[in-house]
Structure 1
């Protein structure tokens, strides 16, 4: 082996060349992976489904999805994918408040498939825009409540108003809920409406095309149009769409067809028919108590 300076220089040069070649080869292998990571969108639009009748059972997972969207830094906008005739008044109000809280932090846009009526319409009010199809069902701004039931003969109560009501008292309660509903419509959509406050309170239902004309909705378009609108409102050019699965409908107090058909309400959720616990409804459709029609008043 030669110990000459020229031999040592050649060995170092060869070693350097091998290191460079290995680095180039490793870079070629890892470059696509690094590129994929570098180009992965950091922004997301979350699509949250509101489907079927709105009740305390179905609204809870939707509220959780909305809270997760607010707390997840990678979520920049939300689209509500709505196909619901409404439901219970209390649950609809809870959903409205959750949507309003989310809309205060990021753009929220609604997309109506078949129906976005009554309580479902209430829930959509805080959104920036409501997209509908021409045949969508929108509106039905109103409240229903069962007529008071008489006490059982010989029932003993601690006070005259315990578990009881009168028709006048029940109507006053329904009118209070109705004023809140109509007031929210005027607050969020008053500048766009071609309808007066009294016309809104009539509780009419409109097709999507008519709703756009009178200001109850904003645009004719698909859910993809709503997603693009939400992304644009959030200033997103490159984004990923994440979809939340709709909640299961087991154990509902309210059941409904998608086209606003019959809504079934359990006769006595607590198993005691003498308890007069009214279920106020913001729902578009015929209301039945098991096999009997509930007497109801419409705002």
Structure 2
């Protein structure tokens, strides 16, 4: 039963040793790979900024960012980083629809830095949660518009109804947009709102802490808190954060004042009160033209 003449026992021992050595070597090679796989993030959260006056140009950029997030398989949730008093009614509605489409595909959480009012608040409504700071300004659920302007001297119209809106017609247009705005607030926030439909339509603004109390917002917290909430809603324990900053564009100025903010728009060639200038706005603050502001400053 001792060693056989042909040395088979020695051969088996050598074979076992070789197998053990190979196993050790293989585990050493595969261990870093297994570690890398274990530490890879579960997914990512995209932080998309909505900043300044809501215009067709700024909304186009945000819509593109939202589309990229929806089409990127590695993005599991979106945080809207909002600091805006609102803007054009049509642009605000387009942004709302884009956020709503994104919210149907992944969790969307909004975070208000300083201001998320009027059209900017409208755009945030599809978000599952709205985070604010105690001093944030939110609300202003309303629409404003200039009265129709008079015809220019010597103006020739192509038809009798061209630029012929009356004050009553303009008021009806604003009321239609207002009903849609208020209706969206009631649709998305009714389960949490402590305000009646009539109170919402008063278009008041609220500080962040008050907005949480009355249901216009959900939580007091930072953007990082909003990111954590979005990741949690997407089921992510370990995640990366991608930040998309808005492009810097000219043509619109945003100034702050003690009475709530002044939105400064470029003056139309036919004047702010005429038909070709921006007249239907979802914006919190006083609307003035550049020339008016410059004149006040120089005076």
- Does the 8 Å CA contact 1:129/1:219 hold for their aligned counterparts? yes
Give the Cα separation in 2 of the matches to 1:258 and 1:232: 36
Query: What's 1:296 paired with?
Result: none
Superposed CA deviations along residues 25-67 of structure 1, whole A, max 9, x for unmatched, are 4653553244113420232222211111111111112111211
Larger relative contact order, structure 1 or 2 (CA cutoff 8 Å, min sep 6): 1
1:205 aligns with 2:205: yes
Unpaired runs of 5+ residues, structure 2, are 294-299
Distance 1:267 1:241, change over 3 A: same
Query: What's 1:245 paired with?
Result: 244
Give the Cα separation in 2 of the matches to 1:284 and 1:246: 23
Give the Cα separation in 1 of the matches to 2:124 and 2:146: 26
Higher mean C-alpha displacement, 37-46 vs 126-135: 37-46
TM-score by length of 2: 0.85
Query: What's 1:134 paired with?
Result: 134
The total of aligned residue pairs comes to: 285
- Does the 8 Å CA contact 2:65/2:244 hold for their aligned counterparts? no
* SS of residue paired to 1:243: strand
Higher mean C-alpha displacement, 81-90 vs 221-230: 221-230
1:231 Cα deviation from its structure 2 partner: 2.0
Distance 1:258 1:189, change over 3 A: farther
1:21 Cα deviation from its structure 2 partner: 4.7
Query: What's 1:220 paired with?
Result: 220
Give the Cα separation in 2 of the matches to 1:197 and 1:255: 33
Superposed CA deviations along residues 123-163 of structure 1, whole A, max 9, x for unmatched, are 11111111111111010111111222222222111112213
- Does the 8 Å CA contact 1:141/1:203 hold for their aligned counterparts? yes
Give the Cα separation in 1 of the matches to 2:23 and 2:163: 81
1:255 Cα deviation from its structure 2 partner: 2.7
Higher mean C-alpha displacement, 225-234 vs 110-119: 225-234
Unpaired runs of 5+ residues, structure 1, are 294-299
The Cα RMSD (Å) is 2.7
* SS of residue paired to 1:241: strand
Give the Cα separation in 2 of the matches to 1:281 and 1:117: 12
